[in-house]
Structure 1
């Protein structure tokens, strides 16, 4: 991947939406990091609203990709590892960060960051939201979900969005290079070594179906392997609850 450009906006509806707009009007600018001080229509997975108060990190990397959808989706693992790399570099606290399948980063077992991949044709936007200085109240999240936390709340460190991007952009470039050179195998062991609740009971909900079992591993395709009484089940996408 070529070195990504950067643009910082005061306000935008959604950094992913802005990424697609810029890909359509100036495709030569890709790859491009787009960071906004606030979002007016931020969203998470399954079109859930993403609270976007000023001071947190709202950014997207718009890039050109090719290959099957399942392969493109593996960028969520690269992004999660890059987020953890950036957190550790900025805080010096590797022991407090963990990765929650499929696309969250935890700090002291609370959700500090989320990732949203969206694609349109050859363009992929990797949206990233990080609670740098504030987190939504517990009442704003789904019952049973991991409670939201912020970097400031948990560590006392005040990190600006610009400083966070300075750490995140090179971290993602390194993880993307590893993925391009070695496939998911180049990331899998590192991701698993930082996985939250590995080997422990979890619930995985897909649509109206909820399965309970032990989080056994993530397979070579990135599927969650849930060990149930009937045997192991590969789950490609789900909401996971602890």
Structure 2
């Protein structure tokens, strides 16, 4: 690994733990005492979780970390950091897997490799007002995939970086790559606004311009994935017109 791969972004702290229940839980515990952006990294998570409290299997050898930061623009822009994080994660994985890896970003918060889910992102806000912070949890299947019987019905097939590409990278080595990529896209967001992030994200979006299914609560919508708007909502073109969807489970 080159020296560049291990460079840590200036002004960003990190806490490295051998084991923890969940890096998101640890983020909530530490957040009140953190003064700046901080990565919380654990080699093992014993009670990892994903969106809506769903279990996230995180065996040793896979990557688990949470970034705690103060979102620019406060609560109104906190959700847009999902796209910043997805771009950073795709960039870090591309750096490891090489230019021929088939990577894409699935709205709103998954990264795909060869059409399977290799990584997920979870956002939670902590505190409020002047104390508002954002926790961005990231899990990556670097070496292992979850057992089929642990998956939800209809869930995307999971894949691992090692199985798909033969590339082996440790979580400790992956952390600085991801931290550096996030710092890059975060600076773009701060300097140029969401337009720059949105354009970069759309260039990497899975199934853009194709038929998808969106499940919102008890409702199911079918249509063409047209774009995302300036709030990050998915724009679905149905027979009767376009629909903006702020949150949903997406199926291909």
1:225 pairs with 2:238: no
1:180 paired to 2:190: yes
- TM-superposed deviation, 1:95: 4.4
RMSD between aligned alpha carbons?
1.4
Question: Which residue pairs with 1:156 in the alignment?
Answer: 166
Establish whether residue 61 from structure 1 lines up as the match of residue 71 from structure 2: no
The 1-side partners of 2:208 and 2:70 are apart by: 33
1 CA distance for matches of 2:58 and 2:148?
A: 15
Alignment deviations for residues 99-140 of structure 1 (CA, whole Å, 9 cap, x no partner) = 000000000000000000011121111000000000113332
Q: Whole-Å Cα distance in 2 between the matches of residues 195 and 44 of structure 1? A: 21
Question: Per the alignment, in what secondary structure is the counterpart of residue 99 of structure 1?
Answer: strand
Cα distance in structure 2, aligned partners of 1:115 and 1:52: 13
- Partner Cα separation in structure 1 for residue 243 and residue 76 of structure 2: 18
Secondary structure, in 3 states, of the residue corresponding to 1:67? coil
Structure 1 residue 195 displacement after superposition: 0.5
Alignment match, 1:12: 20
Please state whether the residue corresponding to 2:173 is helix, strand or coil.
Answer: helix
In 2, Cα distance between the equivalents of 1:27 and 1:38? Answer: 22
Asked if 2 retains the 8 angstrom alpha-carbon contact of 1:137 and 1:148, the reply is no
Instruction: Report how far residue 2 of structure 1 moved.
Output: 6.4
Cα–Cα, structure 1 residues 95 and 53, in superposed 2: closer, same or farther, change >3 Å? closer
For residue 27 of structure 1, the aligned residue among 34, 45, 69 is: 34
Partner of 2:210: 200
Contact 1:2-1:31 within 8 A present in 2 as well:
no
State how far apart, in whole Å, the 1-side matches of 2:153 and 2:76 are. 30
- Structure 1 residues 126 and 102 mapped into 2: Cα distance closer, same or farther (>3 Å)? same
**So what's the TM-score if we normalise by structure 1?**
0.95
Gaps of 5+ in 1: none
State the TM-score, normalizing by the size of structure 2.
0.91
Unaligned runs of 5+ in 2: 1-8
SS at structure 1 position matched to 2:55: coil
Q: SS in structure 1 opposite 2:120?
A: strand
Distance 1:27 1:128 in 2: 19
Aligned to 1:83: 89
Alpha-carbon contact 2:72-2:190 (below 8 Å) kept: no
Distance 1:193 1:64 in 2: 27
Cα 1:32/1:68, change in 2 over 3 Å: closer
Pairing partner for 1:103 from 88, 104, 109: 109
